[in-house]
Amino acid sequence: MKKNTKIIIGILIAVVVILVVWYGTGNQDQSNLRIGFIGHLSGDYASYAVPLQHAVELAVQQVNENGGVRGRQVELVSEDDASKADVAASAMNKLVTIDQVNYIISTQASGITAAITPIAEANHRVLMIALGSAPGLTDNKQYVFRSIASDIYQASEIVNLMHSLGSQKIAGLYTNDAYGIGVQDKVNADQSVSHAADEMFEAGSGDFRTQLTKIKSSGADTLIIVAHDEFPSILKQIRELGLQMKIIASETFKDTAMLAKSGSYAEEVYVPFLADQEDHLNFNNAYKVAFSEDSSAYSKYAYDGALALLKAIEDSGDDPDVVAAALFRKSFEGASGKVGFNTEGDRTGLVYLTYVVQGGSFVEY
């Protein structure tokens, strides 16, 4: 091959390489915006997380139908943690290191959420918690936010309700995880009442007779129950053992499916829950059209969490540091009312009400 020919071929190859590099970097903004999702899509708590995944999917669908984020379509990269902390950590590491997503939405219980928050913080990935509510999950973190209320507010409402009901002697039955312990700590900090007994149980348990027998003998006039989906069994066994006391359930009980499973055993059970605020985005109707079923009690918080992330990216660009800073200032009218975040990244703008089960329905107290 002649020398001049070799030079020309070399120049052409160099030009092609430059064009490929330029095209890959110069058109990067035109690729899909990838958002990570991690949740209990199988395992003990799938009934909580799957409706939240649907809510996030709905938010993504609506944003894409309206032109996406900065002209880019949003792509959801989903991971199932099987309701296990070790699987959650592995899934989170995959989203960060392999999928290279900068923004992740979590629909996980508090204990499992605690396994992924350090990963997000260490890697400067923005994490939006849509279910885990234990106090402390967002403390001293720059990249971790929460679209559902912290249990600090729920525990405060439980304490207020205790006093409203005239409780003097309290007993507690708590799930032995970050959720249960977080509420227990806040309730027990109130020393204006007598704390007669505290009993713990492992998530997923079915037999609570040993704990309930001890509670019965304590002489307590009020029982606080913090559980996940164990309420039907707990309430049935309370009635079978003849416990005569006021019952306050954690907000996880405020679910029509849970109430239906509990039947008549749920009568006169009190539960604090977030007040229904104005649905500015017609979320509930859109959800039912999309999935042919009603949304869950927590779905709208996942939806608003997804929107908060996407709105912050739309406003500030695809840079996790800038997006995190923008979220602290973000405020908008969402499906769950006015959405905002305090200096710890916790949700603001939420109000609690108390409900009591009467005639098989939740009635405002």
pLDDT tens digits along 103-161: 999 999 998 999 999 999 999 999 999 999 998 999 999 999 999 999 889 999 999 99
> Residue 102 pLDDT > 70, yes or no?
yes
Q: Look at residue 161 in the predicted model and tell me its pLDDT.
A: 96
177-183 average pLDDT score:
91
Homologous superfamily of 28-150+277-348: Response regulator (3.40.50.2300)
3-state secondary structure of 22: helix
> Residue 319 pLDDT > 90, yes or no?
yes
Q: What is the mean pLDDT of the chain?
A: 91
Supply the pTM of this predicted model: 0.79
pLDDT tens digits along 254-295: 988 899 999 999 999 999 998 888 888 899 999 999 999 999
Share of the chain above pLDDT 70, in %: 92
> What backbone torsions phi and psi does residue 205 show, to the nearest 5 degrees?
-65, 155
> Residue 343 pLDDT > 70, yes or no?
yes
Q: Look at residue 21 in the predicted model and tell me its pLDDT.
A: 37
Q: Look at residue 203 in the predicted model and tell me its pLDDT.
A: 87
Could you check whether 28-150+277-348 and 152-274+352-364 share the same CATH topology? yes
Sort residue 28 into left (φ over 0), alpha (ψ -120 to 50) or beta: alpha
**Is 34 buried (19+), middle (13-18) or exposed (0-12) by CB count in 10 A?**
middle
Nearest alpha carbon to residue 50 among 110, 107, 105, 9: 107
318-327 average pLDDT score:
97
- Residue predicted with more confidence, 22 or 250: 250
Q: Look at residue 18 in the predicted model and tell me its pLDDT.
A: 37
Angle made by CA atoms 161, 162, 164, in degrees to the nearest 5: 60
Q: Look at residue 27 in the predicted model and tell me its pLDDT.
A: 39
- Residue predicted with more confidence, 20 or 190: 190
pLDDT band for position 1 (50/70/90)? Answer: low
Cβ pair 198, 211 in contact under 8 A = no
What ranges do the domains of the chain cover?
1-27, 28-150+277-348, 152-274+352-364
> What backbone torsions phi and psi does residue 356 show, to the nearest 5 degrees?
-135, 140
pLDDT tens digits along 6-61: 444 444 444 333 333 333 333 344 599 999 999 999 988 888 899 999 999 999 99
Q: Look at residue 125 in the predicted model and tell me its pLDDT.
A: 98
Cβ pair 253, 267 in contact under 8 A = no
Nearest alpha carbon to residue 36 among 61, 53, 51: 53
Which class in CATH covers the domain with range 152-274+352-364? alpha beta
- Give the helix ranges, DSSP H, for 197-274: 209-217, 231-240, 256-262
> What backbone torsions phi and psi does residue 65 show, to the nearest 5 degrees?
-65, -20
d(CA 81, CA 86): 8
- For residue 339, the surrounding DSSP H or E stretch is strand 337-341
